[in-house]
């Protein structure tokens, strides 16, 4: 059942131009930025978009150790 009440979004925004939709791509580098109290890591995804992970310094150190161990497994 369709909502046709006056407050329905189709009624409110009728005739209002929509913002341009930009494609979400995973293009771009993996990056880490320092925010106020944390580090924010942005990882491009193959299907588009980005995985955003916020972590503190201890979590970043643990992630680094886990990644070094994983790379060691690949090199064997």
Per-residue pLDDT of the chain (76 residues; tens, 9 = 90+): 555 665 665 565 666 666 665 555 556 889 999 999 999 999 998 888 899 999 999 999 999 999 999 999 998 7
Residue 58 lies in a domain: yes
Helix (H), strand (E) counts: the chain? 2, 3
Which pLDDT does position 8 carry in this prediction? 60
From residue 37, how far is each of 2, 34, 40, 49, 50 by CA, in Å? 46, 8, 10, 25, 21
Residue 17, in any domain of the structure:
no
Give the structural domain span for 68.
Answer: 25-75
pLDDT at 22: 55
pLDDT at 6: 59
DSSP state at residue 42: E
Query: Token pair for residue 41?
Result: 């890591």
Q: How far apart are CA 74 and CA 37, in angstroms?
A: 33
Q: What is the pTM of this model?
A: 0.59
pLDDT at 28: 81
Total domains in the chain come to: 1
């Amino acid at each position: 059942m369709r909502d046709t009440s006056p407050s329905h979004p189709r009624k409110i925004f009728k005739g209002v131009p929509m913002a341009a939709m930009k494609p979400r791509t995973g293009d771009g580098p993996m990056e880490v930025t320092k925010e106020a109290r944390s580090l924010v890591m942005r990882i491009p995804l193959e299907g588009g978009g980005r995985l955003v992970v916020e972590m503190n310094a201890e979590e970043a150190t643990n992630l680094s150790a886990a990644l070094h161990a994983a790379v060691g497994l690949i090199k064997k």
